[in-house]
Each structure stands twice: as structure tokens, then as C-alpha cells.
């Protein structure tokens, strides 16, 4: 453990750069806790290195976010779909990112640094929405400096406590390592349990693309609702022909009067998020208003497009 601490002090700049860059490109690296530890150790051993740590963290943040920003600009909704499928929180990444960017614009790049599951999604969505490069660099620089300064400051303030913890770990040896493994396993288990619970809440029956086509040929046809937010529609402006644009948040907060309230027709809702979570939440919101025949479209807009069916521009 003492050798590990010494290695951390001697190579703190490289460690912070690599860990921060990996975290920004989406790898599960605990960059912020590591930055706190690095800040505490450097404050004790070599305070003059703090400026270099800030520079390394800033550069890693901007370079990592730039990878996703330009990927979003080049590939748009296709890249967003791929990124959310591989995200650690795929069910909420699009919805939370849309809400954040739609409400805060460029400032969302700053706020996203502190929102789990969104920090990797915000840069490509900003690129897909057409943010200019200079605005991206300006906002991302502000975000990187704020994020870096906060965690380095925590390390500096609590440097004595960090040193005491590291000394205790070095004395505890394998017991401390085992304890850390248990804590990590518990965190992963809690995350898995929350995800399973959330999926059960939204695990209602779906309507397949084939079933929707059959319903559309019937009389009366179903009511089709596009529940994507404004940012999601800007990223992918296609829509199922005849679909009503009513965002999830408007349905949940009852901001709009529904022209079909009291109608006994089938209601099919769709989104562009994994597991149709936004559409399922919208169906629950409609059910609470007495519209029990609302179901999500399995696969959402992507499934409709992949089946070769026509779309219309929003």
C-alpha cells in the first residue's frame, strides 16, 4: 500500500489524466474519488503540482467529451441510439439528457458533469443538436474547471483525513482490500436491484409493429402518440405518420388537454429510448387518467423505421 501511495504521488498527473479521460469516454472508472485522493496526497507532498493536476484534468475532460461531441455531430440519432444501448443506465439516459439540454441549453454540459448517467450523453447530444464548436469548448472548459476544482478542493480540505485512511488501509492489508471488494459488490447489487425494480414497474404489455399496422387498417384507427421531448425530436425529426406529438412530461404533469379523453380507442405510444421506458411511463400516466387501453410500441420509432415503414417530418 505504501508503494501504491508513493506511485500515486509521483505519477499523479498521468493517473488523473488517464482516469479522467477514461471516465469521459464512458468507461466505469471512478475519476472523481481518485481526483479527491490525488488532491489530498499532492497537497501533503507536493502542493506546487496542484496547478498541473488542474491542467491535466481539464485537458482530459475536453478531449474525452470532444470525442462524443463530434461523433454526435457526424452520426446524429444513430450514434445516440448506440450510446444509450451500451450505457450503464440505458433506460433513463435519453430522457434525462433531453430534459437537461432542453431546459438549460449549453449550461447542460456544466450540470451534466454532476448527474450520473448523463455526463457521457450530454456532449454527443449537444453535437447532434448542432451546437457550435466554440460554444462546446467554452461550456466544456467551464464544466471541467468547476468539476476539477470541486474535487481537488475536497482533497485539499480533507488531506489529513485522507492520509489517515490510507495509513489505516496500509496497516490492514488484505482485510482492507476485501472490505473494498465487498463495498463495490454491494453497490453493484443495489444498482442491479433498482434497475430490475424499475423494469418491473414499466413491464406492461407492448404492441408490436405488425399489430400497430393491423390496428391502423381497422376502423376506427388507434391513437398514436410520440412522447419524445423537444431535444429528442431535434436529434431525430422523423415521426410515424399521423402521430400526435405530446411529450412525456406534459402527460405526467397534465399540462395538456387530451382531445381523445373519454375515447375508447387503442392508444399506442412510442419513444426512441431502450426498453420503451418513456412510452411505458406515458402509458402509466394515461392509465391514471382512466385511459386503460394505452400501450407502448415495442422497439419504438427505431423498430418502425427498421421494418421499412414510412415516416413523416416533424
Q: For position 241, which CATH number holds?
A: 3.40.250.10
Final residue belonging to a domain, choices 148, 175, 201: 201
Quick check: 227 and 245 in contact, CB under 8 A? no
Q: Do 125 and 99 share a structural domain?
A: yes
Final residue belonging to a domain, choices 201, 234, 260: 201
Residue-wise pLDDT for 250-279, tens only, equals 888 877 778 777 778 899 999 887 678 889
Quick check: 160 and 105 in contact, CB under 8 A? no
Round to whole Å and give the CA distance between 242 and 226.
Answer: 10
Q: Which of 58-72, 87-101, 225-239, 269-283 has the lowest mean pLDDT?
A: 87-101
Of residues 38 and 136, which shows the higher confidence score?
136
Q: Do 218 and 185 share a structural domain?
A: no
Q: Do 220 and 149 share a structural domain?
A: no
Q: Do 109 and 151 share a structural domain?
A: yes
Round to whole Å and give the CA distance between 135 and 299.
Answer: 34
Mean local confidence (pLDDT), 151-163: 76
C-alpha cell at 125: 447530444
pTM of full prediction above 0.85: no
pLDDT exceeds cutoff 90 at 56: yes
Round to whole Å and give the CA distance between 204 and 312.
Answer: 28
Round to whole Å and give the CA distance between 34 and 18.
Answer: 11
Number of domains in the chain: 2
The confidence score (pLDDT) of residue 308 equals 92
Final residue belonging to a domain, choices 166, 184, 201: 201
CA distances from 210 to 75, 261, 299, 300, 303 (A): 28, 26, 12, 12, 10
The confidence score (pLDDT) of residue 172 equals 54
CA distances from 56 to 4, 53, 95 (A): 20, 5, 32
Q: Do 263 and 308 share a structural domain?
A: yes
Q: Do 224 and 168 share a structural domain?
A: no
Q: Do 180 and 232 share a structural domain?
A: no
Q: Do 191 and 265 share a structural domain?
A: no
Q: Which of 56-65, 103-112, 284-293 has the lowest mean pLDDT?
A: 103-112
Domain of residue 151: give its range. 2-201
Quick check: 52 and 11 in contact, CB under 8 A? no
Q: Find the DSSP H helices in the chain.
A: 2-10, 12-24, 31-45, 50-86, 90-104, 108-112, 122-128, 133-157, 159-172, 174-201, 209-217, 230-235, 248-252, 277-287, 300-306
Q: Do 134 and 241 share a structural domain?
A: no
Of residues 279 and 129, which shows the higher confidence score?
279
C-alpha cell at 195: 434497475
Q: Do 215 and 188 share a structural domain?
A: no
Q: Do 168 and 58 share a structural domain?
A: yes
Residue-wise pLDDT for 1-35, tens only, equals 445 555 566 778 888 899 899 888 878 787 888 88
C-alpha cell at 37: 485522493
Q: Do 182 and 306 share a structural domain?
A: no
pLDDT exceeds cutoff 50 at 149: yes
Following DSSP, what letter does each residue of 84-116 receive, concatenated? Answer: HHHSSSHHHHHHHHHHHHHHHGGGHHHHHTTST
The confidence score (pLDDT) of residue 202 equals 61
Amino acid at each position: 500500500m505504501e508503494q501504491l501511495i508513493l506511485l500515486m504521488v509521483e505519477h499523479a498527473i498521468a493517473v488523473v489524466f488517464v482516469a479522467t479521460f477514461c471516465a469521459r469516454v464512458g468507461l466505469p472508472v471512478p475519476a472523481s474519488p481518485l481526483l479527491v485522493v490525488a488532491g489530498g496526497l499532492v497537497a501533503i507532498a507536493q502542493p506546487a503540482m496542484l496547478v498541473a493536476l488542474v491542467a491535466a484534468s481539464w485537458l482530459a475532460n475536453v478531449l474525452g467529451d470532444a470525442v462524443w461531441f463530434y461523433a454526435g455531430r457526424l452520426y446524429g440519432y444513430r450514434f445516440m441510439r448506440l450510446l444509450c444501448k451500451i450505457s450503464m443506465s440505458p433506460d433513463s439516459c435519453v430522457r434525462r439528457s433531453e430534459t437537461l439540454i432542453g431546459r438549460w441549453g449549453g449550461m447542460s454540459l456544466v450540470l451534466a458533469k454532476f448527474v450520473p448517467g448523463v455526463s457521457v450523453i450530454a456532449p454527443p447530444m449537444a453535437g447532434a443538436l448542432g451546437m457550435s464548436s466554440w460554444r462546446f469548448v467554452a461550456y466544456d472548459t467551464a464544466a471541467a474547471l468547476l468539476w476539477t476544482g470541486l474535487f481537488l478542493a475536497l482533497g485539499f480540505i480533507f488531506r489529513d483525513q485522507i492520509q489517515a485512511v490510507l495509513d489505516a488501509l496500509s496497516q490492514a492489508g488484505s482485510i482492507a482490500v476485501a472490505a473494498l471488494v465487498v463495498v463495490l459488490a454491494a453497490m453493484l447489487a443495489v444498482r442491479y436491484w433498482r434497475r430490475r425494480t424499475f423494469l418491473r414497474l414499466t413491464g406492461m404489455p407492448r404492441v408490436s409493429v405488425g399489430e400497430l399496422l393491423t390496428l391502423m387498417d381497422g376502423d376506427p384507427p388507434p391513437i398514436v402518440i410520440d412522447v419524445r421531448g423537444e431535444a429528442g425530436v431535434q436529434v431525430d425529426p422523423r415521426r410515424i405518420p399521423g402521430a400526435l406529438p405530446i411529450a412525456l412530461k406534459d402527460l405526467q404533469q397534465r399540462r395538456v388537454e387530451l382531445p381523445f379523453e373519454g375515447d375508447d380507442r387503442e392508444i399506442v405510444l412510442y419513444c426512441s429510448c431502450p426498453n420503451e421506458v418513456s412510452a411505458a411511463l406515458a402509458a402509466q400516466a394515461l392509465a391514471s387518467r382512466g385511459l386503460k387501453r394505452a400501450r407502448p410500441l415495442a422497439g419504438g420509432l427505431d423498430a418502425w423505421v427498421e421494418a421499412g415503414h414510412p415516416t413523416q417530418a416533424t
